[in-house]
Structure 1
Amino acid sequence: MQYGTLMREGKPVAIGHKGCLLLHALVQAAGQVLSKAALIEAAWPDTIVEESNLSVQIAALRKLLGPQPDGSAWIVTVSRTGYRFAGHVRVLDAAAGSNPSALQQPAAFPERPSIAVLPFANVSDDKEQAYLADGITEDIITALTRFRWFRVIGRNSSFVYKDKCLGSKQVAGELGVRYVLEGSVRRSGSHVRVSVQLVDAASASQIWAERYEMELAEAFAVQDAIAERITGAIEPELLKTDSLPAGARHSGNVTAWDVVRQGTWHFHHVGQKTHLRARELFREACRLDPDLAEAHLWLGRVSAGIVAYGWSDRPSEDIREGLDAALVAVRLDEKNPYSHYALAICSAYANAPEQAVLAAERAVEISPSFALGHLVLGMGQLFRGSAFEAIAPLERGLMLNPYDPQNFVWLNLLALAYLFNGRANEALAAGIKARKVRPSWRPIHETLACCYVSLGRLPEARSCVEQMRDMDTPSGDALAPLRLRSPHWAEEIALRLKEAGQSV
């Protein structure tokens, strides 16, 4: 559809001026719901008209367009809100020789991940507590919109479904989203319990669920706290779920975004081969689309990972590549917290912890519930020698995102921060959690040995050292920046390992 002209199979189709304006507005919205007021303003600007005029024009458009190949309508009514264009939209090059119709078979879901947060149900005995459920819902919507890589349906569209018993698949179809977040709020005295689940509408399957309980000291504080926890938890789940290999879901031309998604799938299967493969894919995405910020920020992230895990033969060159990519990502999308996270993690391994702290602080400023921002802030603080200042952001990041497959790294850093602050029992607890996530990672056993020595539990310290002898020694050192900037800590670790029986 060229503006002002509707084409079908290369031939113009007669359409009235008002109908053309309405169709253009709907197509431009690309699957999002437009309110009746917005559509009236698009077709009758600065004019007062009855809502029935809009209904007549929409009915005429539906008749003109006919059904889609699967029998469904091109324009969907969203009850009490407005209308949504249900077909797949792509922008055509006006200079191209061909002129196919812009109205095509609808895609199963939008190309980028999208989510609707439905109004949380108030299941308290006191029905007057509905305000709390609504407030939590609105806070989650607001928090999610800060993450720019997926689309969030606005509050007014989501609240159309308040108190309605509709399936998540139906809601997702009407709103044009892939994921639906549902939940309930129960208040009993001074306690609040929030249950939440994330549903993949394609299969109607639950992919994540959690329950939160806390004291109701003050309504707004509780809303903020719960929204922060839920947002921090589901955003990584969305990222992992939507990062399946593109070839498994798409056909046709491979785009840079498809390549990025393939790379993130490999990245989350943490291993040397998968990380190296992910780097190849992110490099390719950067070549395909040099202006795609996601390609550059992921290249930065994977480069830091390859160096940190000791999988690099040329760590100086690899971390420089990652640092350059992260700087490009920040330039291309300064408001994306992941861009600043990439810069922070690369800076940490480029022996620039002060820059890492600044970049991490910027990521958290953009998105306060961004778990990785808090975690890398703790890393930067620890690497620059501020163990006490490292503890709070590491604890907060792990609280926001307790199930990340790479949490063994952050838990190990937290254990060291505790240890260097003289809190050996807490250090041991964090180290044991890290070992549960990744039992075969050698640095965890080093940390545990130091914790056991500090607590006077030498047999257990020696057991850790024995287990280390059966593990491959990585070519790199995940704690190299810490040892370089804080040689007294490096000496302390070496003395404790020696006491545990390791040859140093």
Structure 2
Amino acid sequence: MRYLFEDYTFDTERRELHRGADAVSITPQVFDLLEYLIRNRERVVSKDDLIKAIWNGRSVSDAALTTRLNAARTAIGDSGEEQRFIKTLPRKGFRFVGAIREAQEPAGAAVADNQVELQKPDLALPDKPSIAVLPFENMSGDPEQEYFADGMVEEIITALSRFKSLFVIARHSSFTFKGKAVDIKEVGRRLGVRYVVEGSVRKASGKVRITGQLIDAVTGAHLWTDRFERDLTDVFALQDEVTIAVVSAIEPKMLQTEIAMAMRRRPENLTAYDYFLRALPQYYLATREGFAEAIRLAHRALELDPRFGSAAALAGDCHVSNVVLGYANDPQFDRKEAVRLARLALSIDDGDPDTLSRAAVISAYMVGDSEAEIEMADRAVALNPNSWRTWNNRGYVYRVAGLPEEAIRSFERAVRMSPVDPLLYMTFLGIGVALIELGRFDEAIVVLKKALRQNPSYMPACRCLASAFAHLGRDAEAHDAAARALEIDPAFTISALIARGAGKNVKLLIEGLRKAGLPE
């Protein structure tokens, strides 16, 4: 048998170790030790196991064992500090953790030095972000933590599966790698995924520390890593808390990476999904030009794939934003297009949470059937309670329906789901408007300033800030904010705001705009 790891070849038949084309000098006893560790790499090998296998049970000092282990590490370019290949688990034993490929030699045949095992063909990557969540390593040695770690990974897999925009490997396939040292690139090839999540769990002194990382399985690049430390009290609540934190970090990070890759591809080779990805950053700008380009790209995606419901919903969202923000040259056209595209998206897939939530907002502003819109928004959240978008859009539906307290609860949940989302300024705006309607003007000012720090040119936040300042009698600040709003949109009038639907159930907001001196 020949074992291949990194650029090493460990040949048990010839009892040779090579690094590339160069032979590595190794004593027989160290070779036996290394072979035993490699053959038993799926488990932790105790000191007694090694003594029995290598020294036939004879009495061996700890110093002698340490010397042989260090020699084995040196032979394969490892060290006691790095422990890339041979890992010491205090009071437990040792384990070979390097990623291994086995090359079986044909019986009775000469084998070339560069022969490798025939591998299964690589699976093609899906046409949307694909991810596998590997079992987290239990670093504590406590079997109870094994169950906790496995349960948390299952929760993460389930949570990610709710995003219909993702291709998520099922639990049974991911768990075939449990207890094995893996090469992330090999995992990606075997499972046909672009991204892999791995992590570890360690319990100590009544606390549990969880680390997680998101890796690009094609390049090997680490895209995200974080550590969570919590009191080990209610295990199920802890699983939920960590799952939310991990998923809320992973999903937007993957999307950002996918967008960046799409922007680097040559335009003549783009797919429908590439056009959709290119539309998203234009939508994020929340400008007249950005919405126009996003609509163009979304329609290009629909031309290539007429059943691309997410592209239709995105285009509808852009049209309703044109109306509400006053960008529309022909408001009636944008109104009709927004409703048409929302209905098209729902006809394609009314079970997609993102599509449902976008359609609910479009209907809230353009139709005004609160009962139906609330039902859609609630169903979107039920389908994916881990999505910033479903909670953010539910907040807007409830805000437009005149239910600011429930709107704030939804917006706060959205912030919790994606604390670094590039569209968080829209969430802050929603909270600010709801707070104004509840008469909580000081709180509204704080959150609206957050919106403007993220997007200084976001005119709705400027005018809402002017309203909140005016209600508190802070006239100079109100006039400054009003002037900034008019600088961004010189044609703004209060009557136009009301006419285009953005003035629904915002009596105190409108009063504040008048007090701030914005034109009627």
TM normalised by structure 1 equals 0.71
Task: Quote how far apart the aligned CAs of 1:126 are.
Answer: 5.1
How much does 1:197 deviate? 2.7
Other structure's SS at 1:243 match: helix
Query: Helix, strand or coil for the counterpart of 1:184?
Result: strand
Counterpart of 2:430 in structure 1 is: 413
**Per the alignment, do residues 193 and 432 of structure 1 end up closer, same or farther by CA in structure 2, a change over 3 Å counting?**
farther
Counterpart AA for 2:364: A
SS of the counterpart of 2:165? Answer: coil
Of 432, 443, 451, 2:460 maps to 443
Q: Secondary structure at the match of 1:470?
A: helix
Q: Greater CA radius of gyration, 1 or 2?
A: 2
SS of 2:422's partner is: coil
2:509 is the alignment partner of 1:493: yes
Amino acid at match of 1:396: R
Q: Does 2:383 align with 1:366?
A: yes
CA distance in 1, matches of 2:518, 2:462: 12
In structure 2, the residue matched to 1:260 is: 276
Partner Cα separation in structure 1 for residue 131 and residue 510 of structure 2:
49
List per-residue Cα deviations over 1:263-290 (Å, max 9, x = no partner).
3354345433232122112223323332
Structure-to-structure mapping, 1:13-162, within 5 angstroms: 76=120, 85-86=121-122, 88=124, 109-124=125-140, 128-162=144-178
Q: Output the CA distance in 2 between the equivalents of 1:191 and 1:304.
A: 48
Question: Structure 2 stretches of 5 or more lacking a match?
Answer: 1-103, 105-114
Whole-angstrom CA distance in 2 between matches of 1:474 and 1:404: 30
Q: Could you say if the C-alpha distance between residues 496 and 251 of structure 1 is closer, same or farther in structure 2, counting changes exceeding 3 Å?
A: closer
Q: Deviations over 1:76-100 (max 9, x none)?
A: 2xxxxxxxx4255xxxxxxxxxxxx
Q: Match of 2:184? A: 168
Quick one: which of 364, 369, 387 aligns to 2:404?
Answer: 387
Q: Aligned partners of 2:227, 2:499: CA distance in 1, in Å?
A: 39
Aligned to 1:398: 415
Deviates more, 1:120-129 or 1:440-449: 120-129
Structure 2 equivalent of residue 465 of structure 1: 482
Q: Paired residue for 1:308? A: 324
- Comparing 120-129 and 413-422, the one that deviates more: 120-129
Q: 1:388-411: CA deviations, max 9, x gaps? A: 121111110121012222221221
Following the alignment from structure 2 to structure 1, what is the Cα–Cα distance between the partners of residues 209 and 443?
28
**Letter of the aligned partner of 2:219 in structure 1?**
S
1:455–1:121 CA distance, 2 compared to 1 (3 A): farther
Gapped runs of 5+ residues in structure 1? 1-58, 60-70, 77-84, 89-108
Check conservation: 1:385, 1:482, Cα contact below 8 A.
Answer: no
- Quick one: which of 406, 425, 449 aligns to 1:432? 449
1:154 CA displacement: 1.6
2:204 & 2:407 partners in 1: Cα distance?
A: 36
- Separation in structure 1 between the aligned mates of residue 186 and residue 512 of structure 2, nearest angstrom: 60
Q: 8 Å contact 1:446–1:465 — kept in the other structure?
A: yes
Deviation string 1:86-137 (CA, Å, 9 cap, x unpaired) is: 255xxxxxxxxxxxxxxxxxxxx43322001122234458564232222111
Size of the aligned set, in residue pairs, is 404
Helix, strand or coil: the match of 1:183?
Answer: strand
Change (3 A) 1:478 1:362: farther
Tell me the secondary structure at the aligned position of residue 380 of structure 2. helix
Which stretch of the first structure deviates more once superposed, 212-221 or 111-120? 212-221
- Mean Cα deviation higher: 311-320 or 179-188: 179-188
Q: TM-score, normalised by structure 2?
A: 0.69
In the alignment, the residues of structure 1 paired with residue 181 and residue 352 of structure 2 have an alpha-carbon distance, to the nearest angstrom, of 36
For 2:211 and 2:497, the matched residues in 1 are separated by 38
AA in 2 matched with 1:86: D
